[in-house]
Chain A
Amino acid sequence: MALLQISEPGQSTAPHQHRFAVGIDLGTTNSLAATVRSGEAVCLADEQGRKLLPSVVHFAAGDKLLGYEALAMQANDPLNTIASIKRLMGRASEDVSRLGNTLPYETVIPAGSKVPRIRTRSGDFSAVEISAEILRVLAQRAAQSVGDELDGVVITVPAYFDDAQRQATRDAATLAGLKLYRLLNEPTAAAVAYGLDQNNDGTVAVYDLGGGTFDISVLRLNKGVFEVLATGGDSSLGGDDMDHAIGEWIISAAGFVEIDARLARRILIAARKAKESLTEAESAEISIADRQHNWSGTLIRSNFEGLVKGLLTRTLTACRRTLRDAGLKATDIDEVIMVGGSTRVPLVQSMVGELFARKPMCDLDPDEVVALGAAIQADVLAGNKPDSEMLLLDVLPLSLGIETMGGLSEKIITRNTAIPVSRAQEFTTFKDGQTAMSIHVVQGERELVSDCRSLARFELRGFPPMTAGAARIRVTYQVDADGLMSVTAEEATSGIAAEIVVKPSYGLTDGEIESMLRASMEHARDDIELRMHKEQQVEASRVIEAIDAALVNDGEQLLNPKERKLIVEHRDALATALESATTEELKRLIRAVEQASEFYVARRMNQSVRQALTGKQIDEVDV
């Protein structure tokens, strides 16, 4: 007997045509699946009633364990137990070797590949494959919970995930055999879960303090449409740091001197328990007892708050920075949403409440809220809601630019632009007779291409030769709703075009994005000066190029030796100084060449006019 769910008015489907949709929060530590049943979003539990699925995969001999069962194997068999795989999604081998020995398992890089694989007793696996395993378990749980096949899923990703990390997540969904409706930013999902999309407009801050990461996002809701204004955070700050702070307190209070791995683990478990009980209780009893140690003590809440206050102050600093990025004051924020288990700590709520001068929203379970929002969005995308117009916008974490002469990055789409977006800009040729142009797509805020990250390179070839500056090449950057990018270049007069879809093969960590942003601020002045200098160098090369071309062409004809010598002298002075001169000197030398060759330019102009008119009747000439 089928178990039926209540549909929206007029949205009943034919039997076996229901579109069951699931939202998945694919987390670093834990993952969750949620669905909308009879109009209500609920997280789906397993047979034991557990909603969280630890994002851990364990490879036993001839078998695979997931979730809690895998987690239980971590301490004894770390090499075959893969946790926190999200940190490796979309990462290239370079990134992974930088993480180096912080990974508890062994990674290998197959010959001729950029994608690192994790070596286990059952074989080598990529991050995408491991994530697909987690997705598969959640999808299976979902299918059992709705008693039918799934139509599609929405998977959430951090707002700062770059193209490569998003693509890796899509790949994992495909590998798990899931139809991915779309990826959704985690903070946006949280706002949807609280139904804030039902309001007309306002600004929302999403404060997400998880186990090991902190993210702050500022969203703007405009006519029912969400846009991520800015994101920030700290990729290595979370609830685990609170456990460590308590752990250190225990160590000094108990006077432990020699701490081996076993004792350290014991202390951390006790610390975590104390932290959790201090959410409700005013004090927590802690005891560490084994053969060598026997200690017990009491941690009172105010003492605990003193231990973690510094950590929380760091999150507030990141909040302020992100607000500044969004161009807002704390008081401009209409709602603050708490996400992540660590936001249960009362001090977190009061400090965040104080910063934004309002009570943060924490009615929904902070562990579940992202998955619930994803489920609501999935339900809409599956077409189970009438006239739904919930369209969610995301932003680009870093600017997308193009390399121009002199190794400079010209930004075509600036950072924090809402996607989907399409922007075009026209470029021209640098040399006479140029018939091809190399297009280099870069990501980052810095002025020099060498300081940005290279995304793709392609060439536009075969357009007709023209004088420098005459060709009109229109370069269009397009980023779709999932953050995937395509670039087209078209020469206007000939219609010759080329296109590339940017398939990023490796990504940036959130830490790297942050350090790139920080670097762009720290180096702002130097970068601009460097840019101006480079621009003058490019201009100087262009002037030299033009003079040389002209002299070869008609120098003999139009100039006497003395005139020619004067121009060449100035040209040579500029050429010699090209690399060494300052920006100002270059400007002066360029002006000198231009002045010295003014009469020459005039003569050339006259000559070309004469040539154009020779042999023509007056009525043939457009005046």
Chain B
Amino acid sequence: MGIQLSDTAATRVQHFLDNRGKGIGLRLGVKTTGCSGLAYVIEFVDELREDDEVFETKGVKVVVDRKSLVFLDGTEVDFAKAGLNEGFQFKNPNAKDACGCGESFTV
């Protein structure tokens, strides 16, 4: 299944990477924390780690470590605006329950 970026998300990621001037791609992951157990990680990638899987989607390299992939497989990442705010949004089929803020979830 892997990971997908929406068109807008891919364009934004590429823009941020260009602006930053370095980095090979976008790292997505989860870590155990937060009000509902798991929280999303979204970072620039400067170097790959041993257990990383790399997906190429719309010209952008998306890096996910194998442990996180269990919880993220099939996720689509979108870039959305809400009022003055804007940012990345996870559409994750594995998430059963998200906390009110959407920053953490359970599986």
Decide if A144 is an interface residue (CB 8 Å cutoff).
Answer: yes
B65 smallest CB distance to A (angstroms)? 13
Across-interface contacts of A15 in B (CB, < 8 A): 33-35, 39, 99, 101, 103-104
A38-B89 contact, Cβ under 8 Å, with A11-B43, A16-B103, A45-B84: no
Picked from B12, B80, B85, the residue with its CB within 8 Å of the CB of A38 is B12
Measured in the bound complex, the distance between the Cα atoms of B8 and A242 in whole Å is 44
Interface core residue of B27, B34, B84, B102 (most chain A CB under 10 Å)? B84
The answer to whether A3 and B86 touch across the interface, beta carbons within 8 angstroms, is yes
Interface core residue of A1, A46, A141 (most chain B CB under 10 Å)? A1
The answer to whether B42 and A6 touch across the interface, beta carbons within 8 angstroms, is yes
The answer to whether B83 and A144 touch across the interface, beta carbons within 8 angstroms, is yes
Measured in the bound complex, the distance between the Cα atoms of B30 and A366 in whole Å is 40
A228 smallest CB distance to B (angstroms)? 27
A8-B43 contact, Cβ under 8 Å, with A2-B103, A15-B99, A15-B103: yes
Across-interface contacts of A9 in B (CB, < 8 A): 27, 43-46
Across-interface contacts of A6 in B (CB, < 8 A): 13, 16, 26, 42-44, 88
B38-72 interface bits toward A, Cβ cutoff 8 Å, 1 = contact, 0 = none: 01111111100000000000000000000000000
**Is the contact region of chain B dominated by helix, strand, or loop, or is it mixed?**
strand
The answer to whether A4 and B40 touch across the interface, beta carbons within 8 angstroms, is yes
17 contacts between A and B (CB under 8 A): A1-B89, A1-B98, A2-B101, A2-B102, A3-B87, A3-B88, A4-B88, A6-B16, A6-B42, A7-B41, A10-B43, A15-B104, A16-B34, A16-B101, A16-B103, A38-B88, A39-B44
Measured in the bound complex, the distance between the Cα atoms of B102 and A6 in whole Å is 16
A12-B87 contact, Cβ under 8 Å, with A39-B16, A39-B20: no
A1-B102 contact, Cβ under 8 Å, with A8-B43, A15-B39, A141-B84: yes
A1-29 interface bits toward B, Cβ cutoff 8 Å, 1 = contact, 0 = none: 11111111111101110000000000000
Decide if A474 is an interface residue (CB 8 Å cutoff).
Answer: no
A39-74 interface bits toward B, Cβ cutoff 8 Å, 1 = contact, 0 = none: 110001111000000000000000000000000000
The answer to whether B16 and A40 touch across the interface, beta carbons within 8 angstroms, is yes
- Chain A residue at minimal CB-CB distance from B86: A3
**Is the contact region of chain A dominated by helix, strand, or loop, or is it mixed?**
loop
Decide if A538 is an interface residue (CB 8 Å cutoff).
Answer: no
Measured in the bound complex, the distance between the Cα atoms of B14 and A38 in whole Å is 11
Measured in the bound complex, the distance between the Cα atoms of B16 and A38 in whole Å is 6
Across-interface contacts of B45 in A (CB, < 8 A): 9
A269 smallest CB distance to B (angstroms)? 31
Across-interface contacts of A16 in B (CB, < 8 A): 34-35, 101, 103
Decide if A147 is an interface residue (CB 8 Å cutoff).
Answer: yes
B46 smallest CB distance to A (angstroms)? 5
The answer to whether A147 and B82 touch across the interface, beta carbons within 8 angstroms, is yes
Across-interface contacts of B39 in A (CB, < 8 A): 14-15
The answer to whether A37 and B84 touch across the interface, beta carbons within 8 angstroms, is no
The answer to whether B101 and A5 touch across the interface, beta carbons within 8 angstroms, is no
Q: In the complex, given contacts A3-B87, A15-B35, A16-B103, what are 20 additional A-B residue pairs having Cβ atoms less than 8 angstroms apart?
A: A2-B102, A2-B103, A3-B86, A4-B90, A6-B13, A6-B42, A6-B43, A7-B42, A7-B43, A12-B41, A15-B34, A15-B104, A16-B34, A38-B12, A38-B16, A39-B19, A40-B19, A44-B84, A47-B84, A147-B87
Number of A-B contacts (CB under 8 A): 96
Across-interface contacts of A145 in B (CB, < 8 A): 84-86
- Chain A residue at minimal CB-CB distance from B26: A6
Interface residues of A in 314-373 (CB under 8 A from B): none
B12-31 interface bits toward A, Cβ cutoff 8 Å, 1 = contact, 0 = none: 11011001100000110001
- Chain A residue at minimal CB-CB distance from B82: A3
Decide if A225 is an interface residue (CB 8 Å cutoff).
Answer: no
Decide if A146 is an interface residue (CB 8 Å cutoff).
Answer: yes
Across-interface contacts of B20 in A (CB, < 8 A): 39-40
A147-B85 contact, Cβ under 8 Å, with A38-B12, A40-B19: yes
Picked from B16, B33, B83, B103, the residue with its CB within 8 Å of the CB of A4 is B103
- Chain B residue at minimal CB-CB distance from A47: B84
B105 smallest CB distance to A (angstroms)? 10
B81 smallest CB distance to A (angstroms)? 8
A133-168 interface bits toward B, Cβ cutoff 8 Å, 1 = contact, 0 = none: 000000001001111000000000000000000000
Across-interface contacts of A2 in B (CB, < 8 A): 87, 89, 101-103
Across-interface contacts of B88 in A (CB, < 8 A): 3-6, 38
Across-interface contacts of B82 in A (CB, < 8 A): 3, 147
The answer to whether A146 and B85 touch across the interface, beta carbons within 8 angstroms, is yes
B58 smallest CB distance to A (angstroms)? 16
Measured in the bound complex, the distance between the Cα atoms of B98 and A141 in whole Å is 27
Measured in the bound complex, the distance between the Cα atoms of B99 and A38 in whole Å is 23
Across-interface contacts of A4 in B (CB, < 8 A): 40, 42, 87-90, 103
Measured in the bound complex, the distance between the Cα atoms of B80 and A45 in whole Å is 17
Across-interface contacts of B84 in A (CB, < 8 A): 44-47, 141, 144-145
The 8 A-B pairs of least Cβ separation, nearest first, read A3-B87, A15-B103, A147-B85, A1-B102, A2-B102, A15-B34, A145-B84, A38-B16
Across-interface contacts of A47 in B (CB, < 8 A): 83-84
Across-interface contacts of B27 in A (CB, < 8 A): 9
A5 smallest CB distance to B (angstroms)? 5
- Chain B residue at minimal CB-CB distance from A44: B84
Measured in the bound complex, the distance between the Cα atoms of B88 and A149 in whole Å is 18
- Chain A residue at minimal CB-CB distance from B29: A12
A14-B34 contact, Cβ under 8 Å, with A1-B102, A4-B88, A4-B89: yes
Measured in the bound complex, the distance between the Cα atoms of B79 and A37 in whole Å is 13
Interface core residue of A2, A7, A14 (most chain B CB under 10 Å)? A2
Across-interface contacts of B85 in A (CB, < 8 A): 3, 144-147
B83 smallest CB distance to A (angstroms)? 6
- Chain A residue at minimal CB-CB distance from B105: A15
A485 smallest CB distance to B (angstroms)? 39
Picked from A7, A37, A141, A144, the residue with its CB within 8 Å of the CB of B44 is A7
